[in-house]
Structure 1
Amino acid sequence: MPGPRANTSLAIALAALADSDLVEQLLSSDDEYRVMCGAICVGARVADADTHARLQALAVDERWRVREGVVIGMQEAADTDLGIVQSVVRSWASQPDPLIARAAVATICEPRLLRSPAAAAIAIEVCGRASTVLTNTPRATRRSPAARALRQALGYCWSVAVAADPHPGLAAFNALDITDPDLEWIVRSNRGKKRLQRLL
């Protein structure tokens, strides 16, 4: 739909209806919104192992809406098959590409997916793994768009994960090495979130 904002509700509805031919048409489009719709469709089919390589390719796309489509699609899949999505994000969170780790964090740190201590524990684990990916990124490349996107995601996702189960969450969060300047920024950013301020 035209306008400054992408119609994500329409895209999510499409994901439930699109057949494989339509998905291919969307992904091959020159229009960013259509490709985002295709990414949502693929993400929603994450239970199909054949989609994983394509999902990773979309998760590192230069267009942020397309990357976000992967996250939205996998969150939709998690509403019906949380275990599959948890397995994928745990694997992705340790991938050296910051955008893959970013997709993992952004996918799982969604409050509606963290309604049990076990689910919260996975989100905390994913945040921890992704934070390690960032600190393992050479300082010379930490200002790359990919590394900055991961840092930005971690700058709010930690607070979502911690709020879902505060006792173990705060233990993991407080263990972050704030002598690293990026982790110090991440800790400071999360501490500024109201959901975390209430706990602190």
Structure 2
Amino acid sequence: MSSHHDYPADLSALPQTDWAGFLAKNSGLPGPRANLTLAQAVADRADERMLHSLSESADEYEALCGTIGLGRLLAEAVAAPGMTAADVAGLPLARRLSEAAIDGRWRVREGVALALQRLGDADRVAFWVVLTAWLDESAGSSELADSVADTSRTAFTAGPAPAADPALAADPALAADPALAADPALAADPVAAADPGPAADPDPALAADPALAADPVPAADPVPAAASARASAPDRLLRARAVAAAVAEPRLVKEHGDAVRAVGLLDACTAVLLGVAPERRRADPRSAETARVLRQTLGYAFSVTAASAPDETFAALERWSSSSAADARWIVRENLRKVRLLRADPPRASALTARLAAE
């Protein structure tokens, strides 16, 4: 729809007072897919004041553009003299994105994932610390945040990690995998207009599996009781979904160290999901919907890390396959449908598939 347009030039030729009409005409909405090429151009071209204004707009497409642009501003803040990764996690811009992650409009939430990926492109250490902070509200000034930053810096100075399997990029079957599209989060988000809704959840065991309520949250769950008390279950689920969507981007996990950190965060996101009991989901439609959205994202996100961290990815999936929670097993099964995961370690993929089939 948009690849032949030179949107940066189009925007530069217009006074910003005329942008609203241009965005409305070229947004691609109403429709199943927003014009992300234009949205990214707006994020690159708009000044700071306009980006804040757009991000607060009642118009969903304008808010999408502005939210992506907040990621640009956050990435620029990383370069400020004396700025540290922990400082970035505590900036008002980071908090603004955290609030946008729980916005009721799904396209705005997708904008958050794209904004975070811009931060990841600019400063990988800050990226990991900000995402960790979102899973632990006290992480901005905690030992956990400092540990993530120290580990990241060590990995980046330790030399190059093993390259990702080049066969993955050339495999034509991968083109059919929605997570490899230019906007993997949008392709996989079940809240799109065509989504049949929670009633069509492909794993009917979720509605009745009593083991879900008793499934223990692993000790590594980074959402402590105090943080859980401060944020509602739907908000925790949506912030975890933003984290999962942000890390499930191949360009950000090409290095082994990055992929390992991504697996750790995806593990934590899975723990957040399992921490919301099925009784609460049945009683609260918003909890049910946000849990489904997070689960859908986790259903492909682990496979993205497999090329650069196959051992760690399969170890996580093998662990979750043994869970009594239907959610966890569904996540494993969905990732096993991704060609890139099968190619990363065929014997382990076959063994894991057989284990699930034997249930």
Give the TM interval when normalised to the shorter protein.
over 0.9
Asked whether the equivalents of residues 27 and 38 of structure 2 are also in contact (C-alpha less than 8 Å), the reply is no
> Which has the greater radius of gyration?
2
Q: Give the equivalent residue in structure 1 for 2:239.
A: 100
Deviations 1:45-94 (A, max 9, x none): 33452212211110001111000001011112211212111111122244
Q: Give the equivalent residue in structure 2 for 1:10.
A: 38
CA distance in 1, matches of 2:253, 2:27: 34
TM-score scaled by structure 2?
Answer: 0.53
Asked whether the equivalents of residues 32 and 63 of structure 1 are also in contact (C-alpha less than 8 Å), the reply is yes
Deviations 1:153-190 (A, max 9, x none): 11110111233310122112211143211001111111
Q: Give the equivalent residue in structure 1 for 2:55.
A: 27
Q: Which letter maps to 2:328?
A: L
Asked whether the equivalents of residues 303 and 340 of structure 2 are also in contact (C-alpha less than 8 Å), the reply is yes
Specify the SS of the correspondent of 1:150.
helix
Q: Which letter maps to 2:272?
A: V
Q: Give the equivalent residue in structure 2 for 1:133.
A: 272
CA distance in 2, matches of 1:31, 1:67: 14
- Stretches of structure 1 that go unaligned for 5 or more consecutive residues are none
Q: Give the equivalent residue in structure 2 for 1:159.
A: 303
Q: Give the equivalent residue in structure 1 for 2:109.
A: 67
Specify the SS of the correspondent of 1:79.
helix
- Stretches of structure 2 that go unaligned for 5 or more consecutive residues are 1-25, 79-87, 136-221, 229-235, 282-286, 350-359
Post-superposition shift, 1:21? Answer: 1.5
2:94 is aligned with 1:52: yes
Asked whether the equivalents of residues 128 and 172 of structure 1 are also in contact (C-alpha less than 8 Å), the reply is yes
Asked whether the equivalents of residues 43 and 73 of structure 1 are also in contact (C-alpha less than 8 Å), the reply is yes
Post-superposition shift, 1:108? Answer: 1.1
Q: Which letter maps to 2:105?
A: R
Deviations 1:96-139 (A, max 9, x none): 51000110111012110011111001110011000110111122
2:330 is aligned with 1:185: yes
CA distance in 1, matches of 2:133, 2:52: 26
Same amino acid, percent of matched pairs = 37
From 289, 311, 315, the equivalent of 1:145 is 289
Q: Which letter maps to 2:112?
A: V
TM-score scaled by structure 1?
Answer: 0.92
Q: Which letter maps to 2:244?
A: V
Asked whether the equivalents of residues 266 and 298 of structure 2 are also in contact (C-alpha less than 8 Å), the reply is yes
Q: CA RMSD in A?
A: 1.6
Asked whether the equivalents of residues 26 and 37 of structure 1 are also in contact (C-alpha less than 8 Å), the reply is yes
CA distance in 2, matches of 1:151, 1:40: 23
Post-superposition shift, 1:16? Answer: 2.2
Asked whether the equivalents of residues 244 and 265 of structure 2 are also in contact (C-alpha less than 8 Å), the reply is yes
CA distance in 1, matches of 2:44, 2:119: 10
CA distance in 2, matches of 1:139, 1:156: 22
Deviations 1:19-58 (A, max 9, x none): 2220132123221110001111112333452212211110
* Aligned length in residues: 200
Specify the SS of the correspondent of 1:16.
helix
- Alpha-carbon spacing, 1:113–1:2, altered in 2? closer, same or farther (3 Å): closer
Deviations 1:129-153 (A, max 9, x none): 0011011112223461111111111
Specify the SS of the correspondent of 1:173.
helix
